[in-house]
Amino acid sequence: MTAAAAAGGNNGTAASKSLKSPKQKELQGLLLDRYDVGKVIGHGTFAKVYHARNVKTGEGVAIKVTDKEKILKVGLMAQIKREISILRRVRHPNIVQLFEVMATKSKIFFVMEFVKGGELFSKVAKGRLKEEVARKYFQQLISAVAFYHARGVYHRDLKPENILLDEDDNLKVSDFGLSAIPEQVVVVVVVGGGMEVVVVVVVGGGMEVVVGPTTK
């Protein structure tokens, strides 16, 4: 979904056309003073994505609009909350940025970075990449993956369709909707000149510290 949202779209006369249906009046009213909403640039089972412009800054953004009734019906509210939490912790130059989240009784709005260059998949499909280009993409991808792994986040849907390119041909990882945070994380820290080991176990937000001798 995010990949489709950031792949393209221009703001203009499409804004008025895309907001005429009764179901979209709430979106128009909510965002009228903050975002100039344009056409739909992506859609899925539970959400639509619009291209929009921040009225104050003129910056282009992608707004993913999720229907609360639909996600409650299929029991996905916990997943949506997890996605929001994850996007707020993974701020990195090579990850699509979440700017803010807004909500009404019936909708959730993800205001995100608008990435103009489209999907990496589209570029790869045209033919083999030059070595220097492939190397740059690989380095940027590893940087992003290492960053969110270090924060206990696992994407679980990393593929060329979910990797975007900005106007400067820099890579951006997107769509953390299926990502996960492990229920248990074990961190081992050696202290005391190598004579002791501290094992920190985090389970469901709780923490237990176990101290014991090292083994050589």
Residue 157 is a catalytic residue: yes
Quick: pLDDT tens for 123-150: 999 999 999 999 999 999 999 999 999 9
Are 154 and 194 members of one domain?
Answer: no
**What are the pLDDT digits (tens) for 63-81?**
999 999 999 999 989 889 9
Range 100-106 average pLDDT: 87
pLDDT at residue 25 greater than cutoff 60:
no
Identify the domain containing residue 72 by its residue range.
2-113
Residues 94 and 140 in one domain: no
Please report the pLDDT score of residue 103 as a whole number: 85
Say whether both 22 and 94 belong to one domain: yes
Task: Read off the amino acid at residue 134.
Answer: A
- Number of compact structural domains in the chain: 3
Task: Indicate whether 87 belongs to any domain.
Answer: yes
Shared domain check, 85 and 28: yes
List 33, 36, 67, 157, catalytic entry: 157
Instruction: Tell me, yes or no, whether 132 and 83 share the same domain.
Output: no
Give domain status of residue 93, yes or no: yes
Both 86 and 9 in one domain: the answer is: yes
Q: What is the pLDDT of residue 183?
A: 58
The pTM assigned to this predicted structure is: 0.70
- pLDDT band, very low/low/confident/very high, at 32 (cuts 50, 70, 90): low
Identity of the amino acid at 87: L
Q: Which residues share a beta bridge with 160?
A: none
